[in-house]
Amino acid sequence: MKKTILFIADKPDWAYEFMIKAWLPFLQKDYDCFVAYDDDYTVKKNNSKNKIFQLIFNIKSLLKLSVFKITNKNEAVYFLDKSGKYYYPKYI
């Protein structure tokens, strides 16, 4: 069984991804390699203090996530954390 390497690149088509693409042919013989992007897992600050906005935003996100589950669409849906200070991505 091969060992696994997960590369985290900052953005698609930027320098780090090009370096990873250059290494992959040499590593794939001995390792299972995967590439993920930092943008896919970023936590964003929430500047809105309005509780009604936060509630509506999370309800809208729940509906969007439900539709993505039904259609098997694997995209990030952002939710507000319980403190209301940050958004975080959720995938199906």
The 10s digit of each residue's pLDDT in 18-43 is 999 999 999 999 999 999 888 777 88
Residue 86, strand partner residues: 45
- Which tokens is 50 given? 């309005």
Between the CA of residue 81 and those of 18, 45, 46, 54, 75, what are the distances in Å?
34, 10, 10, 10, 19
Q: Looking at the structure, do residues 48 and 84 belong to the same domain, yes or no?
A: yes
76 has a pLDDT exceeding 90: no
Total count of domains within the chain: 2
Look up the domain containing 50 and give its range: 42-90
Q: Cα–Cα distance between 61 and 74 in angstroms, integer?
A: 14
pTM, 2 dp: 0.59
Q: What percent of the chain has pLDDT over 90?
A: 39
Same domain, 25 and 47: no
Q: pLDDT digit string (tens) for 1-20?
A: 889 999 999 888 889 999 99
Based on the fold, state whether residues 9 and 36 are members of the same structural domain.
yes
Q: What is the pLDDT averaged over residues 37-61?
A: 86
Q: Pull the structure tokens for residue 63.
A: 């509906």
For residue 41, how far is the Cα from the chain centroid?
3
